[in-house]
Structure 1
């Protein structure tokens, strides 16, 4: 009887599936900053109850992807320039240290895994499949932090993943970004393969700072458009 009652934790719940769908929709720009998130519409689009939608919206609010506006209800959180800058500062600090540690602990198996992920990302860029770029970029960093033996650092980064992917969806779709991103990340991978911690940290910083400059420029353009509208 006890075995029959045991919950299958490997199977995602309806709430988890809905959370993933709505998070992805925001990250990929289907819902843009400032868009209202109307519960009834979301219920119809996602095919779930209002209770599930409300739980998911509350969770996304804790991730910083949703905010509640008086008399309007939940909306997609607007990207605040100061917060965006701080996100990239956190990424620069943690990812560069993880890159250094990953290089110092690199094994042939880890390098092979990272190279395989990089091939998927390059192919996704070639196909302009930005959703796949996001998916495999996340996997690259998961593998890098695991290889660095920095689980707590990774937890901090993961807590920001919703907003990080929202920003990535802006940067990876910018003209010419695919080639530049591939060059920057392959430079990082080469340093890891050579077990050169200093070069890996420097390559990681270069990548994050370049990405930050693209995101901030795009954000400034959006603010300018809103003021002129």
Structure 2
């Protein structure tokens, strides 16, 4: 068993490489290269891979080893349904119980996401979306929702920058979120629920297109790198 601090750091950095798209669905995760890249032992890498397998980010394939897990269309749709249900609950609760300060914070997160989309900065888009969802879930007042959504978003991370691929979608996406914000400001839980469903249905179409692209791409083994990868707050 490796030291807890080393294990936690390795787990965070490796999951970040997957979530940020350095390793894409289907890519092989070779222990030796991960050790070089993260500057940790094989024991640390193996324990992190086992944990990520349990979290369904990694799949161990016989005679091939660990790879970044690919989602089937059915798996994607099942996860998306759960995510939409969680967001609808959060929206209704936010409209009823969110404080004025939490509403202001949510508005700031939407503006930050808008700027990241305008700049086409994929890293900042991921950070801004993560911040938005954290703020959104916290405004619901339900302590369990943030952890649930983090787990789902990690498995759906392949589509986090997919809005950039569709002309006009970044602007439409922000309009959808601003519409959600207005329903929360109006303290209208049913309208907030409807706004979440509309936003998710539009985003789902784009995510499915991205999933189809990934399914058609051959898996690859990333080249070895000895550079250190900084840990990230995204999970």
TM-score by length of 1: 0.86
* Deviation (angstroms), 1:217: 2.0
Partner of 2:180: 188
In structure 2, the partner of 1:30 is 22
**C-alpha distance in structure 2 between counterparts of 1:36 and 1:225, whole Å:** 14
The one of 39, 46, 49 equivalent to 2:31 is 39
Among residues 15, 23, 42, which one is paired with 1:50 in the alignment?
A: 42
CA RMSD after TM alignment: 1.8
Query: What is the TM-score normalised by the length of structure 2?
Result: 0.84
Q: Is the 8 A contact 1:63 1:160 kept in 2?
A: no
Say whether the 8 Å CA contact 2:103–2:139 is kept in structure 1: no
Matched, 1:94 2:86: yes
1:173 aligns with 2:164: yes
State the match for 2:73 in structure 1.
Answer: 81
- Kept in 1, the 8 Å contact 2:159–2:207? The answer is yes
> Residues 73-115 of structure 1: CA distance to partner in whole angstroms, max 9, x if unpaired?
1011112111100111001111011101101113221111111
* CA displacement, residues 191-212 of structure 1 (integer Å, 9 cap, x when unaligned): 1112121111111111111111
Corresponding position of 1:200: 192
Deviation string 1:167-206 (CA, Å, 9 cap, x unpaired) is: 324x233223321211111111111112121111111111
Task: Give 1:225 deviation, angstroms.
Answer: 5.4
State the structure with bigger RCO (CA 8 A, min sep 6), 1 or 2. Answer: 2
The structure 2 residue matched to 1:122, chosen from 106, 114, 125, is 114
Q: Mind listing any 5+ residue stretches in structure 2 that lack a counterpart? A: 219-235
What is the aligned partner in structure 1 of residue 151 from structure 2? Answer: 159
CA–CA distance in structure 2, aligned partners of residues 127 and 25 of structure 1: 22
| 4+ residue segments displaced more than 3 Å | 221-226
Q: Does 1:132 align with 2:88?
A: no
What SS is found at the alignment partner of 1:13?
helix
Q: Distance in 2 between matches of 1:161 and 1:67?
A: 17
Aligned length: 214
Do the aligned partners of 1:88 and 1:209 also contact (CA within 8 Å) in 2? no
